Amino acid sequence: MAGRDATALGEFIRRQRELSELSMRQVASMAGISNPYLSQIERGLRAPSEQVLEAIAASLQTTAETLRRDAGVPPSATDENGEPPVVTAIKDDPRLAPAQRRALLEVYKAFTAQ
C-alpha cells in the first residue's frame, strides 16, 4: 500500500473509531494488536496487513473492503499468493500452453517493471 493510501486509510479508521465512540486502546484490544501499532496505522506511518485490517474492521463492525473503499484506497494489487491477479490468471488458464504462459508472463513483467 502506497504512503498516500496508508495515510487515507489510517485517517478513515481513526474517524470511524471516533464515530463509534471507541478509544484507541479498545479497538487495539479488540483487534488483537498493540495500542502503539494502531496509533501508527491511524497516522499513516504503517500500512496494516490484510489480517490486521480485517481485525480492525471487525472491531468497527464493518469489513476491510468497506474501509478501503470508503477511504478511497484502490483494491489490493495482489492476490492471496502475493501475485498480481493477472499473473495468477495467466498461470491458471487451461487454454494456454506452457510456452504461451511463459511468453505472456515475460511481456507482462516487461511492461510492469519499474
Can you give the pTM of this predicted structure? 0.66
Q: What is the pLDDT of residues 105-114, one digit of tens each?
A: 999 988 887 5
At residue 2, the pLDDT reads: 58
Q: Measure the N-to-C terminal CA separation of the chain; round to a whole number of Å.
A: 16
Percent of the chain surpassing pLDDT 70:
90
At residue 81, the pLDDT reads: 65
Instruction: Parse the chain into domains and list their residue ranges.
Output: 3-71, 77-114
Query: Closest Cα partner for 47 from 37, 55, 57, 35?
Result: 37
Q: Is the pLDDT of residue 39 over 90?
A: yes
Query: Closest Cα partner for 47 from 64, 59, 25?
Result: 64
**Kindly report the CA angle at 73 between 47 and 48, in degrees rounded to 5?**
15
Query: Closest Cα partner for 62 from 33, 30, 88?
Result: 30
Does the structural domain 3-71 have CATH classification 3.10.290.10?
Answer: no
